[in-house]
Amino acid sequence: MMNRNPISILLVDDDADTQQIIAMIASHFEYPLAIASTAKAAMDQLSGISPDIVMLDIFLPDSSGYTALNEIRSVTFDHPPKVVAITAYYTTDTQAKMLSYGFDGYLPKPISALTLIPYLQNLVSGN
């Protein structure tokens, strides 16, 4: 299933199940995917790639997603990526909280295969 405008994704999450789910979805849609399990690994990868989307877990083994967001925002990109907070720990006000912290979007875990791609496409296109 070829997508005319593939969205490149950097997934920053240490959870193997989440990595596997996102990898299967990205593969199905032929979206380039890089995976980092820590904030440090993500920053190392960002020196060589410029993804359209960074999916960033809030609880990482070496950093918080909030700190990692600030580090990502400090990098100069030709086209800065949209940064989406992902977490399994959420309440009814989590989305508003994540947007107030400066994330471009928010997805609760487990990630839904049915809604992920339309959500990312809308985010990248600015809809």
Task: Give 24-39 pLDDT, tens digit per residue.
Answer: 999 999 999 999 999 9
- Do the domain assignments include residue 89? yes
Distance CA 106, CA 79 (A): 20
- Do the domain assignments include residue 51? yes
For the segment 30-56, the average pLDDT, to the nearest whole number, is 95
- Do the domain assignments include residue 37? yes
- Do the domain assignments include residue 16? yes
**What confidence category does residue 4 fall into, taking pLDDT thresholds of 50, 70 and 90?**
low
> 35 and 49 in contact (C-beta within 8 Å)?
no
pTM of the entire structure?
Answer: 0.93
- Do the domain assignments include residue 4? no
pLDDT value, residue 127: 67
The CATH number of whichever domain residue 103 belongs to comes to 3.40.50.2300
> 86 and 107 in contact (C-beta within 8 Å)?
yes
72-118 pLDDT per residue, tens: 999 988 889 999 999 998 888 998 999 999 999 999 999 988 899 99
Domain that holds residue 65: 9-125
pLDDT at position 121 over 80: yes
- Do the domain assignments include residue 29? yes
Residues making up the chain, counted from first to last: 127
Buried b (16+ CB within 10 A) or exposed e, 64-73: ebeebbeebe
- Do the domain assignments include residue 52? yes
Number of domains in the chain: 1
CA 39 to chain centre: 12
**Rounded mean pLDDT of the chain?**
92
Q: In this predicted structure, which of 1-5, 18-22, 54-58, 97-101 has the lowest mean pLDDT? A: 1-5
Distance CA 33, CA 29 (A): 11
- Do the domain assignments include residue 1? no
Long-range contacts of the stretch 121-124 (C-beta < 8 A, 24+)? 121/7, 123/53, 123/82, 123/84, 124/7, 124/52, 124/53, 124/82
